[in-house]
């Protein structure tokens, strides 16, 4: 086994305490090895040395036959005894000492959760790091907070910046259902994850063969939400017409203040709204609706399973989600809620006002509003953050305001959409709209309905679709603002619905309709 050439992609970490009834440990590990595991780590926390060696020898026969590495957790003596590789945690022997004892031809891996630990692992001569914790896990008692797939990005950047080619895998709560999200959202353009390490999603399974195959297939295929995506060159008129032609049903989970208005806005542009907060039907809805508006403007504790179920169902059925982290900066609870949503699934579009997007991106501008030059700095920083946030989430990011910002993080311009073409990141600033839009409730939230309708009707290119939706919205807002100039917000509200309707029909050339 070459230290520089091993495959971490589907890395099984064993646990003999979670086997299904009637299946032996070696049997279960063999099923995994026979069906696509590329690396095995023997992790035994409460076993006598004699038994550990016996078990390691039995597994070593299997890994040798499959020509994959056997890695022993923590116990350097066992690794030496059976001629295997070694994985160490932060509380174990340090990698430098382990290297001295183990020699130069053995793989040494280190568990890390911070950039500092990773840099030390590089300096100490480790060959890979296992990055934790990705998601919550039942397998190990840990005080680490889950960081989600994007939590690997800092570490991948640090490895790249150090000029190291150290391999990486993520660990914690990874399974067949989230492995594609993990691969797609963990990477930065310069450096990507080499694999995932898993315990329960193989060791616990009645059919470990099938479980392993599904995991390997998930890692090795383009994420399902990417399979339909390509850059298209449609006019805004065509993109708008596609909404009317396909009349997508848009599922809303949104706040009570804007439900009625959002439904009317959806109808006005030729799409069809549906409201449901019933977990039991999400799977059915995700099959036939065009997409989901997920608006967390009115959340309570019991909404966590609601939002996560919706997210899972729409990801599972490969339908777009437009997420609106309403009021996200307002409280610690909302910030954490937003963090959780960003972590738990793939979002096609993330839309919010400036403060919401800044908070969701975990950023502080460091400049506050005031004179023009300050606001220019503010705007260019904001644009940069929107672009980075889009790349890091692999979503389209919309920042609403007097000038809207739309940034694309989905695109690669290459067939393998895991790759990302940063130089050609698509980005646009949009002017228009009306002051009056901020005088009625729902104009922010129901832009989410319009974006979702457009993205649902134009599946190939969510960025183009989002851009067209935002432009239509600004156009209608501007027009209604003109017409309601001498009236007030009440008049503006119904004129805005009319203007959306007329503009989406292509009738908005002059200001009378
Ligand atoms: N190490 P599962 S998390 C062994 O964060 C281990 O370093 C972790 O198990 C770390 O795939 C973990 O069943 C357990 O969630 C992962
Ligand atoms: Mg340890």
In what order do the strands lie in the sheet containing 404-408?
A: 272-275, 249-253, 291-295, 321-324, 349-353, 396-400, 404-408, 427-430
- Per-residue pLDDT averaged across 177-203, rounded? 93
Whether residue 507 is contained in a domain is answered as no
**What pLDDT score was predicted for residue 513?**
57
Q: How far apart (Å, rounded) are the C-alpha atoms in residues 234 and 142?
A: 50
**Which of 13, 40, 90, 140 gets mutated to test ligand 1 (max ligand atoms within 8 A of its CB)?**
140
Identified catalytic residue from 39, 134, 169, 445: 445
Q: At a CB cut-off of 8 Å and minimum separation 6, what does 216 contact?
A: 9, 10, 35, 36, 37
Same domain, 201 and 295: no
**What pLDDT score was predicted for residue 82?**
97
Q: How many helices (H) and strands (E) does the chain have?
A: 19, 16
pLDDT range class, residue 512, cuts 50, 70, 90 = low
Ligand 1 atom with minimal separation from the 197 CA: 11
- Closest residue by Cα to atom 10, ligand 1, is 132
**Which of 12, 13, 145 gets mutated to test ligand 1 (max ligand atoms within 8 A of its CB)?**
13
Whether residue 60 is contained in a domain is answered as yes
- Closest residue by Cα to atom 5, ligand 1, is 132
* Count of structural domains, the chain: 2
Q: Per residue in 241-281, pLDDT tens?
A: 999 999 999 999 999 999 999 999 999 999 999 999 999 99
H or E stretch covering 405:
strand 404-408
Is residue 374 scored above 80 in pLDDT?
no
% of the chain surpassing 90 pLDDT: 81
Q: What is the CATH number of the domain that holds 134?
A: 3.20.20.70
Q: How far apart (Å, rounded) are the C-alpha atoms in residues 402 and 381?
A: 16
CB-CB contact of 426 with 408 (8 Å): yes
Q: Ligand 2 centroid to 27 CA: how many Å? A: 25
Q: How far apart (Å, rounded) are the C-alpha atoms in residues 291 and 481?
A: 30
Q: Per residue in 467-501, pLDDT tens?
A: 999 999 999 999 999 999 899 999 999 999 999 99
Whether residue 485 is contained in a domain is answered as no
Three state DSSP letters for 44-56: CCCCCHHHHHHHH
Q: Beta strand 70-73 with 249-253: parallel, antiparallel or unpaired?
A: unpaired
Q: What is the CATH number of the domain that holds 246?
A: 3.40.1190.20
- CA 464-150-392 angle, to 5 degrees, is 30
Q: Which ligand is nearest to the Cα of residue 86, counting in written order?
A: 2
Tokens of 156: 């991948």
Q: Ligand 1 centroid to 127 CA: how many Å? A: 19
Tokens of 160: 């790249």
Same domain, 32 and 139: yes
Whether residue 31 is contained in a domain is answered as yes
**What pLDDT score was predicted for residue 214?**
98
ipTM reported for the complex surpasses 0.85: yes
Is residue 290 scored above 50 in pLDDT?
yes
Same domain, 428 and 338: yes
Q: Per residue in 311-342, pLDDT tens?
A: 999 999 999 999 999 999 989 999 999 999 99
Whether residue 506 is contained in a domain is answered as no
Tell me which residue has tokens 């009306």: 434
Which of the listed ranges 3-7, 362-366, 452-456 does the model predict with the highest average pLDDT? 452-456
**What pLDDT score was predicted for residue 276?**
96
- Closest residue by Cα to atom 3, ligand 1, is 172
Q: Ligand 2 centroid to 181 CA: how many Å? A: 27
Q: Ligand 1 centroid to 34 CA: how many Å? A: 22
Q: Which ligand is nearest to the Cα of residue 98, counting in written order?
A: 2
Same domain, 216 and 242: no
- Closest residue by Cα to atom 15, ligand 1, is 173
Question: Which residues pair with residue 128 across a beta bridge?
Answer: 109, 167
Q: Which ligand is nearest to the Cα of residue 45, counting in written order?
A: 2
CB-CB contact of 265 with 445 (8 Å): no
Catalytic site includes residue 445? yes
Q: Ligand 1 centroid to 170 CA: how many Å? A: 9
212 compared with 414, residue with greater pLDDT: 212
Instruction: Kindly report the average pLDDT of the chain as a whole number.
Output: 92
Is residue 372 scored above 70 in pLDDT?
no
CA atoms within 13 A on the CB side of 372: 0
Q: Per residue in 401-447, pLDDT tens?
A: 999 999 998 865 444 444 556 778 899 999 999 998 989 999 989 99
Same domain, 152 and 67: yes
% of the chain surpassing 70 pLDDT: 95
Whether residue 259 is contained in a domain is answered as yes
**What pLDDT score was predicted for residue 410?**
81
- Per-residue pLDDT averaged across 363-368, rounded? 64
Q: Which ligand is nearest to the Cα of residue 73, counting in written order?
A: 2
**What pLDDT score was predicted for residue 413?**
44
Same domain, 216 and 360: no
**What pLDDT score was predicted for residue 4?**
82
Question: Which residues form the domain of 294?
Answer: 236-471
**What pLDDT score was predicted for residue 412?**
54
284 compared with 373, residue with greater pLDDT: 284
Same domain, 206 and 316: no
Q: Ligand 1 centroid to 73 CA: how many Å? A: 12
Same domain, 107 and 16: yes
Q: Is residue 172 left, alpha or beta, with left meaning phi > 0 and alpha meaning psi from -120 to 50?
A: left
Residues with CB under 6 A from ligand 1: 13, 111, 130, 132-133, 137, 139-140, 142, 144, 171-174, 198-201
Same domain, 185 and 287: no
Same domain, 265 and 123: no
Tokens of 282: 């999400």
DSSP track, 352-374 = EEHHHHHHHTT---S--S-SHHH
**b or e along 423-458 (b: 16 or more beta carbons within 10 Å of the residue's beta carbon)?**
eebbbeebebbbebbeeeebbbbbbbbbbbbbbbbb
Same domain, 39 and 93: yes
CA atoms within 13 A on the CB side of 20: 13
- Per-residue pLDDT averaged across 204-231, rounded? 90
- Per-residue pLDDT averaged across 393-402, rounded? 94
Q: Per residue in 65-84, pLDDT tens?
A: 999 999 999 999 999 999 99
Whether residue 356 is contained in a domain is answered as yes
Q: Which of 168, 193, 220 is the last residue of a domain?
A: 220
Same domain, 144 and 34: yes
Whether residue 71 is contained in a domain is answered as yes
**Which of 91, 137, 141, 143 gets mutated to test ligand 1 (max ligand atoms within 8 A of its CB)?**
137
pLDDT range class, residue 370, cuts 50, 70, 90 = low
């Amino acid at each position: 086994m070459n230290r520089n050439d091993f495959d971490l992609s589907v890395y099984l970490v064993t646990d003999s305490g979670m086997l299904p009834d009637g299946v032996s440990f070696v049997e279960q590990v063999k099923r995994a090895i026979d069906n696509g595991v590329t690396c095995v780590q023997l992790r035994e926390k409460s076993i006598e040395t004699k038994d550990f060696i016996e078990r390691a020898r039995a597994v070593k026969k299997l890994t040798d036959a499959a020509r994959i590495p056997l890695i022993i957790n923590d116990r350097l003596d066992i690794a030496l005894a059976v001629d295997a590789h070694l994985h160490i945690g932060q509380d174990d022997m340090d990698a430098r000492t382990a290297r001295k004892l183990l020699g130069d031809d053995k793989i040494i891996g280190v568990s890390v959760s911070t950039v500092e630990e990773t840099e030390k692992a590089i300096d100490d001569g480790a060959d890979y790091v296992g990055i934790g914790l990705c998601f919550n896990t039942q397998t190990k008692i840990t005080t680490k907070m889950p960081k989600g797939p994007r939590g690997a990005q800092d570490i991948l950047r640090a490895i790249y910046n150090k000029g190291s080619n150290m391999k990486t895998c993520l660990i914690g709560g990874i399974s067949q259902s989230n492995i594609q999200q993990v691969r797609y959202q963990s990477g930065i353009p310069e450096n990507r994850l080499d694999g995932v390490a898993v315990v329960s999603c193989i060791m616990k399974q009645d059919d470990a063969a099938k479980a392993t195959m599904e995991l390997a297939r998930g890692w090795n295929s383009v994420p399902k939400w990417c399979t339909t995506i390509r850059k298209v060159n449609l006019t805004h008129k065509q993109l708008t017409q596609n909404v009317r032609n396909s009349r997508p049903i848009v599922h809303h989970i949104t706040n009570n203040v804007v439900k009625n208005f959002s439904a009317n806005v959806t109808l006005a542009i030729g799409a069809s709204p549906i409201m449901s907060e019933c977990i039991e039907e999400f799977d059915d809805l995700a099959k036939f609706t065009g997409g989901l508006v997920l608006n967390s403007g009115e959340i309570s504790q019991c909404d966590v399973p609601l939002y996560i179920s919706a997210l899972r169902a729409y990801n599972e059925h490969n339908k777009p989600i437009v997420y609106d982290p309403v009021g996200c900066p307002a409280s610690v609870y909302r910030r954490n809620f937003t963090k959780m949503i960003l972590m738990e699934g793939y979002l096609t579009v993330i839309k919010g006002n400036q403060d919401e997007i800044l908070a969701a991106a975990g950023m502080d501008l460091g400049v506050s509003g005031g004179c023009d030059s300050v606001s220019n700095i503010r705007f260019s920083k904001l644009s940069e953050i929107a672009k980075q946030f889009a790349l890091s989430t692999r979503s389209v990011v919309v920042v609403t305001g007097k000038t809207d910002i739309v940034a694309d993080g989905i695109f690669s311009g290459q067939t393998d959409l895991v790759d990302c073409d940063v130089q050609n990141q698509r980005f646009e600033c949009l002017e228009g709209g009306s002051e009056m839009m901020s005088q009625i409730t729902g104009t922010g939230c129901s832009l989410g309905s319009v974006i979702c309708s457009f993205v649902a009707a134009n599946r190939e290119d969510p960025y183009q679709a989002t851009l067209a939706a935002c432009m239509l919205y600004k156009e209608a807002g501007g027009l209604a603002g003109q017409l309601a100039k001498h009236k007030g917000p009440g008049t503006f509200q119904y004129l805005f619905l009319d203007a959306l309707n007329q503009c989406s029909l292509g009738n908005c050339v002059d200001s009378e309709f």
